[in-house]
């Protein structure tokens, strides 16, 4: 292979990672960049207003403050050199905003881009000959276990028990059986499949939507995406595990929430924009559904302390934690290292994503 250059965010340039890269590709040139806020003072002011202003009043100011607060710049610590005889690799970080991502991908010719996250919808359209890989599957079991934990927490009234403990209140609470309840999964990708497997193992009846009607032994009933209304009307726990595309944005809105049982729970461990938040808030406030667990919201940033969702007693917020554990990043990097070996050897990379589909489904363009 000709020369090799690897670009990565300084956060991932740990001693261990650099040593592993050097072991796999000793001749590779490693260049690093940093991402910095342009207006950190405005960010601090926004944080203060989030804490002291009512949600409705802060919302009026958010459109003015959000853009400068999130504005960032990318600085090269080690400026890259690009030439025709060099293969260039980019380890794409999870929080690179769309403008910076476009600048990076337009100004520099990368032959292979690896996304640290499972999804690739946040990556701008790439040339057709650019290899694009993701960390799909790295978090599937971890997220599935987390999801099952949420189901048990809801069925056994754990949030209320926790609240009573904090209040030093002794009160016996009822719980529900998991066995025999109906689990509905929207999307049977790697995460949805693991959720189905674990749900079936604890005695749940598992329904799911899937584009291709293949039989899966631990799924009792598979429906097409067009049959989603039927699934919504019948399940006790609805788990959203689909990627964010044009077809799935606001997949769960007012009509869909109204179709659900009043005793049903919604659990979103995919992307915030799968659910229309305004209608979800209304459904929870009115008791149209029994409750919800939300791991990530539409804005995909920390909710301000004055956000209206915090006041809902039937909502459990898990703060983008479903994927995270002490070894999660290490597993993602191990996949990157394996693909680096394959890239150098000219072998097929793992977790290849379709750059054409990425251009079609990219929702940040």
Question: Is the CA virtual torsion 192, 194, 197, 198 positive or negative?
Answer: negative
0.85 exceeded by the pTM? no
> Do 267 and 150 touch, CB atoms closer than 8 A?
yes
Q: Please give the structure tokens belonging to residue 109.
A: 């010719």
Place 348 in a pLDDT band, splitting at 50, 70 and 90: very high
Q: Where are the domains of the chain?
A: 3-138+326-361, 140-317
Tokens 């400068």 sit at which residue?
Answer: 68
Cβ-count burial 144-168 (b if 16+ within 10 Å, e if not):
bebbbebbebbbbebbeeeeeeeee
Place 316 in a pLDDT band, splitting at 50, 70 and 90: very high
Place 355 in a pLDDT band, splitting at 50, 70 and 90: low
pLDDT in tens, 133-154: 998 888 899 999 999 999 999 9
Whose CA is closest to 342, among 333, 350, 334? 350
> Do 314 and 285 touch, CB atoms closer than 8 A?
no
DSSP, collapsed to helix, strand or coil, labels residue 97 as coil
Which CATH topology does 140-317 take?
Answer: Rossmann fold (3.40.50)
Mean pLDDT of the chain: 89
Contacts of 260 (CB under 8 A, 6+ apart): 232, 233, 235, 238, 266, 288, 289
Mean pLDDT in residue range 191-210: 96
Mean pLDDT in residue range 22-49: 89
Kindly indicate whether the domain formed by 3-138+326-361 is annotated with CATH number 3.40.50.720: yes
User: Are 3-138+326-361 and 140-317 equal in CATH topology?
Assistant: yes
Whose CA is closest to 342, among 331, 352, 355? 352
């Amino acid at each position: 292979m000709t020369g090799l250059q690897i670009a990565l965010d300084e956060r991932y340039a740990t001693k261990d990672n650099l040593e592993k890269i050097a072991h796999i590709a000793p001749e590779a040139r490693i260049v690093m960049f940093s991402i910095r806020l342009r207006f950190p003072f405005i960010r601090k002011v926004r944080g203060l207003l989030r804490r002291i202003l009512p949600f409705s009043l802060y919302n009026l100011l958010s459109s003015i403050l959000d853009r400068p607060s999130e504005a960032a710049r990318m600085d090269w610590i080690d400026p890259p050199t690009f030439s025709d005889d060099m293969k260039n690799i980019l380890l794409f970080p999870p929080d690179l905003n769309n403008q910076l991502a476009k600048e990076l991908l337009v100004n520099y010719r990368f032959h292979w881009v690896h996304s640290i996250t499972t999804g690739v919808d946040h990556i701008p359209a790439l040339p057709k000959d650019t290899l694009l890989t993701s960390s799909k599957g790295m978090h599937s079991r971890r997220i599935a276990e987390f999801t099952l934990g949420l189901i048990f927490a809801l069925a056994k009234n754990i949030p209320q028990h926790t609240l009573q403990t904090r209040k030093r209140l002794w009160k016996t609470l009822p719980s529900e059986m998991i066995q025999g309840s109906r689990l509905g999964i929207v999307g049977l990708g790697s995460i949805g499949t693991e959720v189905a497997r674990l749900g079936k193992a604890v005695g749940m009846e598992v329904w799911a939507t899937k584009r291709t009607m293949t039989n899966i032994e631990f799924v009792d009933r598979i429906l097409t995406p067009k049959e989603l209304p039927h699934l919504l009307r019948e399940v006790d726990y609805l788990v959203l595990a689909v990627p964010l595309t044009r077809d799935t944005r606001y997949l769960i809105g007012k009509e869909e929430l109204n179709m659900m049982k009043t005793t049903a729970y919604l659990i979103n461990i995919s992307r915030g924009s799968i659910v229309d938040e305004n209608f979800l808030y209304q459904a929870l406030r009115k008791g149209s559904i029994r409750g919800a667990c939300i791991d990530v919201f539409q804005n995909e940033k920390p909710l301000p302390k004055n956000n209206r969702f915090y006041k809902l007693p039937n909502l459990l917020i898990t703060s983008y934690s479903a994927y995270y554990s002490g070894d999660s990043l290490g597993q993602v990097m191990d996949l990157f290292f394996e693909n680096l070996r394959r890239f150098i050897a000219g072998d097929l990379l793992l977790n290849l994503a379709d750059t054409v589909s990425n251009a079609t489904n990219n929702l940040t363009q």
